[in-house]
Each structure stands twice: as C-alpha cells, then as structure tokens.
Amino acid sequence: MIQIKNAAQIAIMKEAGRITGEALCLAGEAVKEGVSTKHLDDLIRNHIVKSGAKPSFLGYGGFPGSACISINDEVIHGIPSKNKILQDGDIVKIDVGAFYKGFHGDSANTFAVGNVSDEAKRLIEAAKTSFEKGIAAAIPGNRLGDIGSAIEEHVKQYGFSVVRQFVGHGIGKELHEDPSVPNYGTKGHGVRLCKGMALAIEPMVNAGTHEVYVLPDGWTVKTKDGKLSAHYEHTNILTDDGVISTTKVN
C-alpha cells in the first residue's frame, strides 16, 4: 500500500533528508586516492549520529555498514572495509540513509577518484542527468511508467543501459515502501502519481549490459560483464508546486 505523506510528515522527512544529504556530501569531499571505504563509512555514521539520527542501513537485513560503498563494476550494496582502498581512476558509489524521528532519507552519488576515463565521466553524467529526466516526469497525474521511461530513454542516448534487477522505491516510515520505481517503463502505464507520494528515484546505469549478479557475501552487486556502473539517487516528495528533493543540500 502506498503511504501518502501529510504536511507534518513531510517536514520531518525534510530533516531526515538534510541529514542524509549532508552525510553524503561529507563523504564525497573525503573521496581521494589512498582512502579506505571504511573511513568513508565512519565519517557518514559519525555525522548521522551527531545529528540525532540513526544510519538507516546499519543492521538492515544484517548489513554490516552504515553506508553502501561500491567501486567501479560494483553497482550497489558494497560493504565498507578497511582493506578496500580507493585508487586513482576509480569511480565510487556512496549510498546513504538516515532515520530521523520515525522517517528515512535515502541518497546516493558517484564520485571520481583522481583522473578517471572519459567513459567514466560520461557514465557519471548519464546517471545524474537521467535522474533529472525522471524528476521532470514525476508530476501528479502522470504515471509511474513515465518516470522509468524518461530515465531509460535518456540513458540509451549515451549507449548505456539501466539495471533492471534492482529499482527505486517508495520511502517514509520504512526505508523501502510501495511503490517500486523501476528505471525503465512505458509512458502512460503504472500507478498514477499524486501529491504526497515520497519516492526514492535512483538510476543505476551500466556501461555495458544491464545484467548483474550478487557476490557470495550476499550483498555486493556487480555488473555481469565487468564494466563500470554509476548510481545517483535522491528522496523526492511530490507536491502541487513541484518535486521536493529532500536530500539535496546544495
């Protein structure tokens, strides 16, 4: 069942989103060659806790980190580790969630480590700009398929593909709520969008095939062909005056 948020709930979600966005930006600023993903995770956890919130991902389904940190061909759900050290030319995806006063924020971005390839730059750009296309379609009265269609069609223009096995989602009191928000779809199809919906829209864009697989750790998702992947996400609330992306802090 889709949970429609009222004004009081939206106000709290804005605060949860702000904390989430701040933690993600803090980690992004620390991305450089020689840094471990565990160090980034510690920065995220410390900021969220200091802000009076809890890391949404820590312990979620048994996940051991406060953030999902994935490198290069790792798509999502990478486990932070002191042994995973960023190298020049890497791209690193950081996915953060914060739980504040009963509501979640969820946001992700892909960061370049030093000098990255032109393909990596285009991939990062494709993930961000496809999100923007999806947001432009997130209008009350439109359909859920309008969002996914806008994202996928934009990604195809770059010659890339969108992951189909994992999708965006509703968000609020639960980290993952109805509806599922695929990064593909058919215009005019699916659930009708309405004011008060809160959606985590998150394009996951692969340089090659859309196919992925999960490592034996039960979490880390990688591209099947070993090519790069990028990820971009914000928590968004639909209103009569447009979309509020609660996790955008700049």
122-155 pLDDT per residue, tens: 999 999 999 999 999 999 999 999 999 999 999 9
Residue 129 has a pLDDT of: 98
- Residues lower than pLDDT 70 in the chain: none
What total of structural domains would you count in the chain? 1
What's the sign of the alpha-carbon dihedral 83, 85, 91, 92? positive
Query: Is 29 domain-assigned?
Result: yes
Query: Is 148 domain-assigned?
Result: yes
Query: Is 211 domain-assigned?
Result: yes
Query: Is 173 domain-assigned?
Result: yes
Query: Is 34 domain-assigned?
Result: yes
What are the φ and ψ backbone dihedral angles of 111, each rounded to 5 degrees?
-120, 140
What is d(CA 83, CA 58) in angstroms, rounded to the nearest whole number? 19
Query: Is 1 domain-assigned?
Result: no
Nearest to 36 by CA among 120, 107, 92, 75: 92
- CATH, residue 90: 3.90.230.10
Query: Is 18 domain-assigned?
Result: yes
For residue 214, the one-letter residue type is V
Query: Do residues 23 and 69 lie in contact, with contact meaning Cβ atoms separated by under 8 Å?
Result: no
Nearest to 40 by CA among 22, 28, 58, 52: 28
- Full residue range of the structural domain in which residue 24 is found: 7-245
Burial of residue 140 (number of CB atoms within 10 Å: 0-12, 13-18, 19+): middle
Residue 240 has a pLDDT of: 83
Query: Is 250 domain-assigned?
Result: no
Query: Do residues 13 and 237 lie in contact, with contact meaning Cβ atoms separated by under 8 Å?
Result: yes
| Per-residue CA distances from 115 to 37, 89, 91, 102 (Å) | 18, 5, 10, 41
Name the DSSP class of 60. Answer: G
